């Protein structure tokens, strides 16, 4: 038996699916990647924030940074590093030297 959906019903289903996907992604914490300098490496977000609290100058909020992807909301702004930048599987920060080389 085939079920025929109206355009409106189909739209409602798609909207609900997208909402569910976004809800799943919302709480997902991506690891922090530092490129360059003596902290270079990949870190769990919570561990990094605890161990390097002295580097945190603030956090990305939608009110202050509405132009940034929501995936960056809640990630720290770090002294001496450029970022955060969404990098697919992680949130990336770079030293000025690395940024300059990669931006040429």
What would the mean pLDDT of 14-35 be, rounded to a whole number? Answer: 72
Choose among 52, 70, 53: nearest CA to 61. Answer: 70
Q: What's the token pair of residue 70?
A: 């929501």
Q: Where are the domains of the chain?
A: 29-102
48-64 pLDDT, tens digit per residue, is 999 999 999 999 999 99
| 3-class DSSP assignment, residue 21 | helix
71-104 pLDDT, tens digit per residue, is 999 999 999 999 999 998 999 999 999 999 988 8
Q: Say what the pLDDT of residue 26 is.
A: 58
């Amino acid at each position: 038996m085939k079920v025929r959906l109206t355009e409106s019903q189909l739209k409602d289903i798609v909207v609900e699916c997208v909402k569910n996907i976004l809800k799943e992604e919302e709480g997902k914490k991506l690891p922090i990647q530092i490129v360059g300098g003596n902290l270079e490496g990949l870190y769990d977000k919570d561990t990094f924030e605890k161990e390097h609290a002295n580097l945190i100058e603030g956090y990305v909020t939608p009110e202050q940074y509405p132009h940034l992807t929501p995936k960056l909301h809640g990630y720290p702004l770090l002294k001496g590093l450029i970022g955060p930048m969404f990098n697919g599987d992680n949130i990336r920060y770079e030293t000025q030297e690395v940024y300059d080389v990669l931006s040429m």
